[in-house]
Amino acid sequence: MPTQDHLFKNMLLATAPLLVWAAHFFFSYAFVAAACVAGLDSATIAGMPILETGLLLASMLALGTAAALLWRPLRRVCRRGGSDRLIDTAKVGSAVLALIGIAWTSLPMLMLKGCN
């Protein structure tokens, strides 16, 4: 039986956290722009501002997704006492970078007080 090389699958899993970060970055700025154009900067749902709530939910979803993508390769690297596979190390590195990037992208949300 021939061995199969799962290069595309492994590369997609290695870059998936960075794609989550890119999607979060795009959504954050597109959502703020759309909300400001539509005049939703002071609108509320159940007493919570729509703008801040939407950004908070998107950030929590992105952080959770990136953390989930970090969990499996980190377990594999720690179990081996250091990975002998470069792809596992790349998966861990990209997930850590994505977590930092998502947190950094979320920082302006803490200072956002509507559209000016």
Give 54-72 pLDDT, tens digit per residue.
889 999 999 999 999 999 8
pLDDT class of 25 with cuts at 50, 70, 90 = very high
Q: Give alpha helix (H) positions in the chain.
A: 7-38, 50-80, 86-111
Distance CA 5, CA 11 (A): 11
Question: Which of 24, 8, 10 has its CA nearest to residue 106?
Answer: 24
pLDDT computed for residue 11 by the predictor: 86
DSSP letter at 4? Answer: -
Q: What percent of the chain has pLDDT over 90?
A: 36
pLDDT at position 98 over 60: yes
Token couple for 20: 């989550």
Q: Looking at the whole model, is its pTM more than 0.85? A: no
